[in-house]
Amino acid sequence: MRWIFQGLSGSHAHTDVSATDPRLRGRTYTIPFDAVWKAALKVSNKQMRGWSVLYIDDQTGVIVAEALRSPWKHKDDVRISIGLDENGQTRVDLRSTSRQEKWDWGRNHRRILSFLRLLDRELSARPDQILKHIGVHA
């Protein structure tokens, strides 16, 4: 239940290699950038319900989308960053921000987890292809 309380702390969630919640540490893949980029585009465009991709830049590795929430038709902002880390591995990070509410009730956190789960599946990523990060928090 810890993740619920994290979601109550504001109107956004993002990945970070030192996140307390290991599921929010983003992804570092031993899979080439091009394959991860194509899979992220497919997940963003076709598998995330209610998402509309607004901006794509393969040179900077950025995908910007808005997520429509029913039944109120509120929109949230999502930014996906894909690039190479200092070791040449493909790194994926996300930020999800609510436009209207001061509190997101864990919705942005769940959106990030859903995207990463679908991306892993789309890539058919084996456990040895997803590098683990040891956070600074115990």
Counting Cα atoms < 13 Å in the Cβ hemisphere of 16 gives 11
* Tokens at 61, concatenated: 């590795």
Averaged pLDDT for residues 75-83: 93
Task: Give me the mean pLDDT over the 78-107 stretch.
Answer: 87
Instruction: Give the pLDDT score at 7.
Output: 39
Greatest mean pLDDT among 13-17, 33-37, 71-75, 108-112? 33-37
CA atoms of 134 and 88, how far apart (whole Å): 18
Mean pLDDT (whole number) for 13-34: 90
- On the CB side of 31, how many CA atoms lie within 13 Å of its CA? 24
DSSP assignments along 49-76, one per residue: TTEEEEEEETTTTEEEEEEEETTTTEEE
* 121-131 mean pLDDT: 94
Sorted by where each starts, the structural domains of the chain and their CATH numbers stand as: 2-131 (3.30.530.20)
Mean pLDDT lowest among 53-67, 68-82, 87-101: 68-82
